[in-house]
Amino acid sequence: MQEYYNYIKALHLIFVITWFAGLFYIPRLFIYQIEAFQKPSPDREILGDQLKLMAKRLWYIITWPSAILATTFAICLLILRPGILNDSWMHVKLGFVVLLFVYHLKSHQIFKQLQEGIIKWTSNQMRLWNEGATIILFAVIFLVIIRDAVNWIYGVIGILLLAVLLMMGIKFYKRIRDKNPNA
């Protein structure tokens, strides 16, 4: 089975990428759904129905299967190389994976609410939510590449700075949109 390690690793990475693609796009669809809900009829119904369909297909055809397959291949990798679980960086990475699943499950809850026409978030709140997967991705990639606990302090500072920059970018974009709604 060891000779298949690199193939399994490649499949794991492919499905991690498609999982993140789904997690990056689904909040955008949520934003559009929330904004469509504020439009007058018949635009609200036409856009709402189309966006619900798009979200449903993305969520059940790409995002959920990718999450399951990425996790399955990750478990296979851990079975093939159990010693890696002794590395401290792997413990931190698995912590971020747990956080990613929490993000995924909360996104699923939002998805279900929007499918039922229940709007609990503003489009601006959803724009902030959209950055959660980005922050987790940055943290995991840097952790896997660097693997050094001492540099992890700098990594945490970097992630916090990234989060601040993302929030500033969202606020800046909101100002532009408020001045020019077609931006």
Tokens at residue 181, please? 């709604």
The Cα 110–Cα 112 span in angstroms is 5
* 93 labelled binding-site residue: yes
Q: Please check if 174 is assigned to a binding site.
A: no
How far CA 46 is from CA of 37, 52, 72, 117, 183, in Å, comes to: 10, 10, 38, 13, 22
183/181 Cα distance (integer angstroms)? 6
- Dihedral sign from CA coordinates of 128, 130, 136, 142: negative
Q: Which residue has the tokens 């291949």?
A: 73
What whole-number distance in Å separates Cα of residue 156 and Cα of residue 146?
13
Return the H-helix or E-strand segment holding 90. helix 88-115
| Nearest CA-CA partner of 100 in 123, 66, 73, 126 | 66
Binding-site positions for heme = 12, 93
**From the annotation, which residues make up the binding site?**
12, 93
